[in-house]
Structure 1
Amino acid sequence: MESSSPRIKNDGHQSFVSGSTVEQQQYARHFANQIVPDVDIMIVEGRIHNPQTIMPTSVPGFVQIQFDGVERLGGLSLFEVKHNSDDIACLNGLKMKQNLTKTVQSHMIPQNATTITITGETNSESASAARTIVTNTINIDQIFMEILDVIEIQQKAFNFVEMKNKYKLFGPKFQEFTLTKVFPVHEPVIEKGDEYSINDLIHLAGPAYDHRLPKILRQRLELILNFYDKYQHLGNPKIFKNCFQNASQQMPKETDNVPCLQLKFWPKDIQPFLKRFEVNRPQLYEKIIRNSSMHVIPKWSTKTPKIDQDIEFRYSFSAIERLLAEHRNKNEQILNGIARSIYFRYLKAVPVIIPSYFVKTTVLWMCETQDLSTINDPRQIAHAWIKFACQQLRQYSCEHYFIDKFNILAPYSHQQLDDARQILEQGVNLDKLVQFSILSEKQQMVAEHNQEIESFIRQLKVTYFFQDLEDYRLLKKSWDHTVIDERNELYQCLLIINSLRYVDGENNKQNWRKFRQIFIEQEKTCTNEPLFGEMTTSPSCPPSEFAQCIMFLGSFLKDLSSTFNDPSVQVDRPYEYHPFDLDGFRNVEKDVLNPVNFLHNTIASSLPEYMQPLFAKEQDLQTSTGLQYAERNLLDCHPNGPLLTMESNQYPDIFSSNYLITLLETATDADQTIDDLITFQQHEVDDESLLSQAIELSLIDNEHHQSEMGKSTTK
């Protein structure tokens, strides 16, 4: 194969996310009753500079890779040689995929109430390493209780001096790794002052290893625990437990990790596409040349000798497809959203009728060959796609968008394609409202959780809240800096109490009392200074934020203990990653945490939480957006799904319910319960309704009487 100008720049050289996760049309999956997002990650492991390195096979778009021509990138990839049937040393693609199927468990994630176990599988025919993600909430109260027992025993053990030395060595390394490697990866969500929270976390573990707390940190601990001791009866551990259970269910259940190699040239057999595209879409052509590239991914075509199945690669155009998706106009986005919705509603089935790539290909062709800008009606766009798709199915051929003379429908029988066409021509109902059962089930679960919390809040006395608010104001005055509440004071109070109550558990294990004994009372006897000195604590950490920080302290202490007792871990250099791999992590994280992508994918998978307010009086807060989320037709809510209006809605909050605040303001007796206030208000509403009905009936009766009087006078 010969190289051909123009040459590309470096875009596409880092790992990235592809597919609907970044195209912001995840909502189409609802029509297949799928709510959990699919995540496809292209993991760039090497580069190919010389066109002679790739050797074409008999199947268009499939090649073999000469081993010596590949530049390996990073330190995590696995490149092995396997000779092909002509005895040429080639890169083993199957080994690249198998390297990504290792079982991984979450480790050293301080602020996390879940354990994540990732397993993988692959084969020669698959283009990826399919990763299965199992997310389970952990019993954080049990973990905290157990690690406090371990710390007590550890401080009396013969090797405690060794543990103390490991803490001294590990603390600075963990801090450095977090600040220089982890924070840059999570840059989109890192806030000012977060670097101090790492110091605080390491310092909070100090008394377990004979290190004093910084004075400010000790003062904060005493204030927050004193406040909690007095008002822990206002907390319910199920509040956060339910939240984390819901969150774990919304985590992706699978990811497709695709190892790939970037091509630093445009192969000869892609030139027809480039020439055609330069004529038809010259502005986008320039963007592709400057800002995109091709890749090859390990996948066997199944049409070549089986002896070479492990060394076959396929062209990948994911980077180009993503760029084209990013530059679609509104009607082109609507086209893609409708086409995907129809596919998930009618064509996605087992066994497969037609591949999803058919939908993507038809959308690409229509965006290039048809002027959609003059269409103002989504219905017309839907009919245009159905007509175009049926034309391809009728002729049993749909040309690959990038590879010349390659029919993507060739693997499917005429009967399959006829069945698909018949569905599109006769079976698609654009106007029928579709109810998403998976959302209804999830919504019911959230409603049950909220009902449980509401029952708990109803039995609390008004006086508890008033005393709580009064003491919270005193707490703020005693804090080491001026506290400016981002939300109302009731929210801050309940957030503090419930954060800590979650750690004591449903059986109220009194973990914080034991923690106070070890980390505050016995801290006075510690012989070593704080690891990073006195003046390294967070300068502006409000009480509620501090409470959330220490909520996960038990998990961090457990991970520290496990690390220090693992002989295979060198605590003076526990984390070593190649800079290229870290850049790849960062790039993927930026894709996932991009505010627009994150908002879309989060709400597309977790909106029912926002549709279930506490207290019956707030049910009218459900919006038309929520209804569209649970039930809509194929033409609704394109191109962004039922999301845009969500940003302006006020989401109900279990800690800051406006209705709850209003109830407290109406209290006339401190011994009343919240349930008393709700009942009284409902009676008032009922009385007002009865009075209104009586007045209305009286007016009607009066009008009737006047009418009769008029008739009598006339006579």
Structure 2
Amino acid sequence: MMTTDTSGCLSFVSGSTAEGQTYARHLADQNIQDIDILIHCGIVQYERNLIQTGVPGFVRVKFDDGIKSTGSSEFKRREDANGILCINGFQLKSEHCTSESQFGAPLSNVKRTGRTSPDASSAAAQQTLTYEEIDISKQFYNALVNVEQQLNQLNFAKIRTNYRLFSRGVCEAISQYALPLYQTPYNKSMFEEKHINEQTFRDLFTLVGPAYGYALPQVTLARIQAVLDFYDRYAHIGNPNNIKDVANYFKSCAPTDADFVPSLQLKFWPTDIQPFFERIKRNRPNIYDLIMNKASLHVISKWSTKTPTCDRELEFRYSFSAIELILGQQRSLKERTLNGIARSIYFKFLKGQKVLPSYFIKTTVLWMSETMDLSSDTDEILAQKWLQYATDLLEKHDCPHYIIPNVNILGPYSADSIQAAREILLKVNINETYEIQMYSATHQKLYRDIYHDNIAKFLIQLKSNDIICALRDYQQLKRQWISLESSAIIIDDDETDLSETLTILNILRGLDGNYENWKKFRKIFLTDIPSEEPIWGETINVESSVDFVEGLCSIGVILTLMNENITSDTLLSEHGVQCNMADFQNYQNVIHQYLNPATLYSSMQSTYAYWYNDSVAAFERRRVTDYHPDGPKMQQYEDRK
């Protein structure tokens, strides 16, 4: 199992998502983090390949044998104004300006649309994600109808064969790619505890085998019959809206924007940034060693707008994302507090005004951390120091770039914008408490309230005796469940068992809808005894009754995908989808980095804390100096533990 690489040798998550303290966005009534991904497309081995443009930090990349692509990346080349063959970076971005739709979850179709600035002045291919709700009961019904129709098709023999080939191919791909993508050193125990493995998905495909003449494993047959018998008795207790209400809340939290930034990794440190290394070696030798050993420099496609338009698609800019990630990770407690305060002030007062970039905040914090002793400062003093430092720079209209010599990052901004930003900061009152409206702005409050209101309304109509009977029957089902764990000890716990009872009934009721899908499912899949053995024999997964039912959430997706792929007159391949391994390693590195507990907690805290917290006061009002450097704590509801 690989460990995350943030040195720049693979694609990685950059920006505040990786550096943390995303909770500062709350003060701009925002909680959904933009995701920035630096995509590793190739390497530049020699400095001779960089052509200086006359604009500090901007280069063209000469194409020759010193350039190597990675994965499936292909470089398009074009001669510059001087007749030198160069890489067309704009085309690298254009490859990510496509649209696609896919299942993001059982309750959503996700559509991704990419775009970039036509004049090549943007470094990213900006991705917009939209989520279309899926009615899982209708999806399940349509899939069942299609399966029924397949039984009467003239090419059913070929459909049967394709079912077997498709099932094996998909499960092979899941084992080879999907599971390694999402199983990390940090969540391995969760995968083991929940028995999430290749057999989990084999069992789902096996479950629909009877429609294609393949029998169910005996244990699976006993399990599905026991679960559906239980559901038949207590379907009226299941809340059909529960799954949808939960999904709507989490959909309101889902990211809607991401920046894909194609990059080339430099296998050297360019001459023009050597002054930075000399300075950092002198002032912060430990960080210098880390940068030398665990970081690298990249170039990303971006036009400076200061060179002739004829070469704009060929221009690249230095990217210091890997270095900045190390600088962020090595901050002391006081430096992290300073960064949290500065970001909070930016999001509260400057973000909406669009007078200064967030890079100004990062740059000022880096300079202060290097040049000032902050060790004895209180949070209030840190806030005052940053405000003084920032307003002094704005008054001079000069903020030196932290790494590139002789570059003023305020240069592109008008005097009016800089003056407006300074006047805003001069009026900041660090002792004032500010109201935060982010939960209303993103509709999270609406969906959270709907969820709780629907639960209350549904529970009122239930009879306590029905719930008690369902609980006792579930406890009996659990004792008789074939778990395949010889050491399993079944102990009744009314609180836990009631939660599992309602989870099972809510899921099955949500899938049933108003279509009586489970009756149709019984007719198609459980009435006849097929002649063929199960495609994976009698092998099944070790899982509890509630895990088994949670797996059924995907049955509509499984059947829909199968219907779309197995009805062709052409036999499918015996092998699963193949992926370029270099591309796969890049995907894997990004996902593993995001699932790192520190990164994941920061994202959960910023975006989802409203769902989990008993008290949301800290998420609805605070001062710019409050809750640093880690932000308000997430406290789980007692009934969600």
TM-score w.r.t. structure 1 length? 0.84
Query: Could you tell me how far apart the structure 2 residues matched to 1:325 and 1:563 are?
Result: 47
Q: Is 1:102 matched up with 2:98?
A: yes
Shift of 1:603: 3.0
Closer, same or farther: CA 349–141 of 1 in aligned 2, 3 Å? same
Identity %: 36
Aligned match of 2:534: 530
Q: Is 1:554 matched up with 2:556?
A: yes
Aligned match of 2:77: 81
Aligned match of 2:503: 495
Q: Is 1:564 matched up with 2:551?
A: no
Shift of 1:341: 0.8
Shift of 1:569: 9.5
Q: How does 1:23-172 map to 2 (within 5 A)?
A: 23-68=19-64, 69-75=66-72, 77-107=73-103, 112-123=106-117, 124-172=120-168
Q: Please tell me the residue identity of whatever aligns with 1:415.
A: D
Aligned match of 2:14: 18
Query: Could you tell me how far apart the structure 2 residues matched to 1:492 and 1:347 are?
Result: 47
Q: Give secondary structure in 1 for the equivalent of 2:288.
A: helix
Q: Give secondary structure in 2 for the equivalent of 1:275.
A: helix
Shift of 1:324: 1.0
Query: Could you tell me how far apart the structure 2 residues matched to 1:565 and 1:371 are?
Result: 70
Q: Is 1:517 matched up with 2:520?
A: no
Query: Could you tell me how far apart the structure 2 residues matched to 1:410 and 1:115 are?
Result: 43
The answer to whether the Cα contact below 8 Å between 2:245 and 2:450 also exists between their aligned partners in 1 is no
Deviations 1:206-241 (A, max 9, x none): 123221111111111001111111111111111110
Aligned match of 1:226: 229
Query: Out of 288, 310, 335, which is 2:338 matched to?
Result: 335
Aligned CA RMSD, in angstroms, stands at 1.8
Closer, same or farther: CA 570–101 of 1 in aligned 2, 3 Å? farther
Q: Is 1:416 matched up with 2:417?
A: yes
Shift of 1:374: 1.7
Aligned match of 1:365: 367
The answer to whether the Cα contact below 8 Å between 1:483 and 1:542 also exists between their aligned partners in 2 is no
Closer, same or farther: CA 483–580 of 1 in aligned 2, 3 Å? farther
Deviations 1:124-156 (A, max 9, x none): 011100000001221110010011010001011
Q: Give secondary structure in 1 for the equivalent of 2:292.
A: helix
Q: Please tell me the residue identity of whatever aligns with 2:535.
A: L
Bigger relative CO (Cα 8 Å, ≥ 6 apart)? 2
The answer to whether the Cα contact below 8 Å between 1:43 and 1:258 also exists between their aligned partners in 2 is yes
The answer to whether the Cα contact below 8 Å between 1:294 and 1:315 also exists between their aligned partners in 2 is yes
Query: Could you tell me how far apart the structure 2 residues matched to 1:112 and 1:459 are?
Result: 28
Q: Is 1:650 matched up with 2:633?
A: no
Query: Could you tell me how far apart the structure 1 residues matched to 2:68 and 2:239 are?
Result: 56
Q: Is 1:429 matched up with 2:438?
A: no
List alignment gaps of at least 5 residues for structure 1: 1-8, 612-621, 657-715
List alignment gaps of at least 5 residues for structure 2: none
Shift of 1:574: 4.5
Q: Give secondary structure in 2 for the equivalent of 1:552.
A: helix
Query: Could you tell me how far apart the structure 2 residues matched to 1:442 and 1:181 are?
Result: 33
Query: Could you tell me how far apart the structure 1 residues matched to 2:208 and 2:277 are?
Result: 59
The answer to whether the Cα contact below 8 Å between 1:113 and 1:552 also exists between their aligned partners in 2 is no
Q: Give secondary structure in 2 for the equivalent of 1:115.
A: strand
Shift of 1:571: 3.6
TM-score w.r.t. structure 2 length? 0.94
Q: Please tell me the residue identity of whatever aligns with 2:155.
A: N
Closer, same or farther: CA 363–175 of 1 in aligned 2, 3 Å? same
Shift of 1:567: 7.8
Query: Could you tell me how far apart the structure 2 residues matched to 1:244 and 1:134 are?
Result: 14
Q: How does 1:605-616 map to 2 (within 5 A)?
A: 605-611=607-613
Aligned length: 619
Deviations 1:263-282 (A, max 9, x none): 11000011000000000000
Closer, same or farther: CA 331–605 of 1 in aligned 2, 3 Å? same
Shift of 1:170: 2.2
Query: Could you tell me how far apart the structure 2 residues matched to 1:254 and 1:651 are?
Result: 33
Q: How does 1:230-629 map to 2 (within 5 A)?
A: 230-350=233-353, 352-375=354-377, 377-425=378-426, 427-440=427-440, 442-481=444-483, 482=488, 484=490, 488-505=496-513, 508-522=514-528, 524=529, 526-534=530-538, 536-539=539-542, 541-565=543-567, 570-611=572-613, 622-623=614-615, 626-629=616-619
The answer to whether the Cα contact below 8 Å between 1:476 and 1:483 also exists between their aligned partners in 2 is no
The answer to whether the Cα contact below 8 Å between 2:6 and 2:12 also exists between their aligned partners in 1 is no
Structure with greater proportional helix content? 1
Shift of 1:575: 1.3
Shift of 1:467: 0.5
Closer, same or farther: CA 513–483 of 1 in aligned 2, 3 Å? farther
Deviations 1:373-405 (A, max 9, x none): 121x11100111111111211111111111001
Query: Could you tell me how far apart the structure 2 residues matched to 1:85 and 1:126 are?
Result: 21
Q: Please tell me the residue identity of whatever aligns with 1:115.
A: N
Shift of 1:570: 4.8
Query: Could you tell me how far apart the structure 2 residues matched to 1:556 and 1:483 are?
Result: 33
Q: Please tell me the residue identity of whatever aligns with 2:179.
A: F
Shift of 1:607: 2.2
The answer to whether the Cα contact below 8 Å between 2:127 and 2:259 also exists between their aligned partners in 1 is yes
Q: Please tell me the residue identity of whatever aligns with 1:315.
A: Y
Query: Could you tell me how far apart the structure 1 residues matched to 2:380 and 2:499 are?
Result: 46
Task: Pick the structure with greater CA Rg.
Answer: 1
Query: Could you tell me how far apart the structure 1 residues matched to 2:158 and 2:638 are?
Result: 51
Q: Please tell me the residue identity of whatever aligns with 1:650.
A: Y
Q: Which moved more, 1:633-642 or 1:273-282?
A: 633-642
Q: Please tell me the residue identity of whatever aligns with 2:58.
A: F
Q: Please tell me the residue identity of whatever aligns with 2:314.
A: I
The answer to whether the Cα contact below 8 Å between 1:78 and 1:95 also exists between their aligned partners in 2 is no
Query: Could you tell me how far apart the structure 1 residues matched to 2:575 and 2:50 are?
Result: 40
Query: Could you tell me how far apart the structure 1 residues matched to 2:92 and 2:547 are?
Result: 43
The answer to whether the Cα contact below 8 Å between 2:162 and 2:572 also exists between their aligned partners in 1 is no
